[in-house]
Structure 1
Amino acid sequence: MKLAVTTLFIGSAAAFSPAASFGVRSSALNMAETATETKAFAKLPATVKPGVVTGKALTDLLDNAKAQGYAIPGVNIVGSNSINACMEAAAKYGGPIMVTFSKGGGQFICGKSVDNKNDQASIAGTIAGAKHVHEVAKLYGVPVVLHTDHCQKAWLPWIDGLLTASEEHFAKTGEPLFSSHMLDLSEEPLEENIAICKSYLEKFAKVGILLEFELGVTGGEEDGVDNSDVDSSRLYTQPEEVYYAYEQLSQVPGGAFTCAASFGNVHGVYAPGNVDLQPIILYNSQKYIQEKLGCEDDKPMKFVFHGGSGSSVEDIQYAIGAGVVKMNIDTDTQWAFWDGVRGYEAKYHDYLQGQIGNPEGPDKPNKKYYDPRLMLRAGEEAMAARLVKAAEDLKCVNVLN
């Protein structure tokens, strides 16, 4: 299920040292490359470049977000228009962006008329969208994280198909196709949830993919996952559960992970004040893990924030202080895209009632008004503007240079 705006956090310090980086590349090679790298962004580690960010570059980026106190917008998309709006916004606010594919979004990209037997349409559409990002991301000049959202137990074949694509891409390029995947097994018992996550993390680590896992339940409904009537006690994760997951997943050599812990967050549309957020849970969890590990790091876990609907800016930024490095955004960007299209139609209404004839004359053509690119562009611009505002709330503005 979902915890809104991600995705990613990292296990033990040893698991993320340069010598234990993703994949099969040797530590000597990694160190040699690091020594010769020039920084693309003044405020970010040298490993982070424009375009799709994976492996050690991604862990470095998330470490930077935690250390500097900002969170990356993780945005659910449904096609190239919303993908491009994400990267356009990132270029405007001067920070990284996370482009997030849902199973349903992947199916939509493939085409709703296509048979989705064995998740074939969801797999093909998600891969197609990811390849689009790989082709164009560098042109926007920003770091882009390619992520997938909620995957419950019954949907694991979808992730299996995407993992196969990443393994093939890794064999050719040394990088995975996707940066990270979320496994949402919060409906299962804790031990089963983490055992399955651990088995997938072992596969992910070999090709440089991060795991986002969920503990507890995010309320509300999104993309086919409905927790509107869930017991309220399940909306709040306990520190002992977070530590158990941390300890188990940290056993995976080279594994990288983030935790979507529930602290009252919900999906959907809610007015401010109608959501009872308890981000203190994140602080308590960090303290509990730190005491268990006996480490100096007061934020050993990287958290992600799912279900930001109805959350105040104060609560969001308080959660960032507890180690939140990514926040999911969907409901607000859906509205923003529609609002842009709606505004375009309202402005040119009288030019959109027929192919011929408008206020300028009965024989005047309207093609330059009903060209789909115009209304879709209006949606892109409105969505990008909303994401700039989100980045400001997440303190993710001007973090590159």
Structure 2
Amino acid sequence: MPLVSVSELLWKAEEGGYAVGAFNANNMEIVQAIVKAAEMENAPVIMQASQGALSYAGLRYITEMVKIAAESTHVPVALHLDHGTDFAQVVRCIRSGFTSVMYDGSKLPLEENIAMTKKVIEIARPIGVSVEAELGKIGGTEDHIYVSEKEAMYTDPDEAKYFVEQTGVESLAIAIGTAHGQYKGEPKLDFARLAKIKELTRIPIVLHGSSGVPDEQIRKAIELGVRKVNIDTNIREAFVGAMRKVMAEKPDEIDPRKILGPAREATVEIIREKIRLFGSAGKA
């Protein structure tokens, strides 16, 4: 089936009280793994590409791979730009066929973030492309975007309300204690802050940096209104871990398919686990 919009998936999730997994698609094997896991769980799925992935693989390669995957399956698939900080890059992704874009103006002053988000919405909404924005800073590193733990700021609920009223954005990524990359200790999410933001904004909330957050905290966040959960680090760990295992057991192996095949299968399993955790299994 053709690619669908993220907004369509998230409002269904809002009605059903579950979250949709957004998994980073960095190469062909991972794209194949995401769609296979979604099919096995009969779940809607979001494939997302960061600016780093687009630099690595190329915009057209990523777009076409995901389009082919979507066309070959019965489950709804959306293609989303993750952490778009460059307006020109956002426009290129929309032109290429992305059905959703994130404009990340979280490092900008509030009014500048609002103005840039509105600019993105003005070009995206008329052609049915969803827009996600971010308010507050999420610690860690996401490609070239680095936010130190000292600099990381939680999202202010009243500011979130004002931001949503001013922009009309369809979903909002918030900072409530998650971080990009691997955690040094166990994260502690600020559920009271999440509940207040949800109450004031009444739109689907997005949780970034979710790899490594304990399952019970993810479930609680979904109960409180998170409708999109981003997973990248867990995929990398599963994929590279399986590759290392094959190479350690068969150091003379030179067929990349025999190294990447098991990595793809390991990725399918971790994504299936996440889909079940998010409550989106059987929701295609």
TM-score range, shorter chain: over 0.9
Q: How many residues align?
A: 284
Residue 230 of structure 1 and its aligned partner are, at CA, apart by 3.4
Alpha-carbon contact 2:35-2:69 (below 8 Å) kept: no
The residue number in structure 1 matching 2:176 is 263
What is the TM-score with the length of structure 2 in the denominator?
A: 0.94
The residue number in structure 2 matching 1:122 is none
Are 1:339 and 2:241 counterparts? yes
Are 1:373 and 2:268 counterparts? no
Residue 338 of structure 1 and its aligned partner are, at CA, apart by 0.7
The 2-side partners of 1:313 and 1:264 are apart by: 15
Which of 55, 62, 65 is equivalent to 1:129? 62
Seen in structure 2, the aligned counterparts of structure 1 residues 78 and 64 have a Cα distance that, compared at 3 Å, is same
Divergent runs of 4+, >4 A? none
Seen in structure 2, the aligned counterparts of structure 1 residues 288 and 62 have a Cα distance that, compared at 3 Å, is closer
The 10-residue stretch of structure 1 (177-186 or 315-324) with the greater mean CA deviation from structure 2: 315-324
What is the TM-score with the length of structure 1 in the denominator?
A: 0.67
Alpha-carbon contact 1:101-1:126 (below 8 Å) kept: no
Gaps of 5+ in 2: none
The 2-side partners of 1:374 and 1:348 are apart by: 10
Matched letter for residue 126 of structure 1 = L
Matched letter for residue 101 of structure 1 = A
Are 1:75 and 2:19 counterparts? no
The 1-side partners of 2:88 and 2:136 are apart by: 23
Once the two structures are superposed, what CA deviation does each residue of 1:9-31 show, in whole Å capped at 9, x if it has no partner?
xxxxxxxxxxxxxxxxxxxxxxx
- State the secondary structure of the residue aligned to 1:206: helix
Once the two structures are superposed, what CA deviation does each residue of 1:69-108 show, in whole Å capped at 9, x if it has no partner?
2111111122212111111111112201111111110111
- State the secondary structure of the residue aligned to 1:150: strand
Are 1:90 and 2:21 counterparts? no
After superposition, where does 1:175-190 map in structure 2 within 5 Å? 177-190=97-110
- State the secondary structure of the residue aligned to 1:399: coil
Once the two structures are superposed, what CA deviation does each residue of 1:21-50 show, in whole Å capped at 9, x if it has no partner?
xxxxxxxxxxxxxxxxxxxxxxxxxxxxx4
The 2-side partners of 1:392 and 1:385 are apart by: 11
Residue 263 of structure 1 and its aligned partner are, at CA, apart by 0.7
The residue number in structure 1 matching 2:164 is 246
Residue 274 of structure 1 and its aligned partner are, at CA, apart by 2.6
CA RMSD of aligned residues (A): 1.7
The 1-side partners of 2:142 and 2:165 are apart by: 30
Which of the two has higher C-alpha Rg? 1
Gaps of 5+ in 1: 1-49, 110-124, 167-176, 251-255, 290-299, 353-368
The 2-side partners of 1:398 and 1:162 are apart by: 30
The 1-side partners of 2:92 and 2:11 are apart by: 29
The residue number in structure 1 matching 2:186 is 274
Once the two structures are superposed, what CA deviation does each residue of 1:191-226 show, in whole Å capped at 9, x if it has no partner?
110111011101101111111100001011121211
- State the secondary structure of the residue aligned to 2:23: strand
- State the secondary structure of the residue aligned to 1:283: helix
The 2-side partners of 1:140 and 1:346 are apart by: 35
Which of 198, 201, 204 is equivalent to 1:286? 198
Which of 218, 222, 232 is equivalent to 1:316? 218
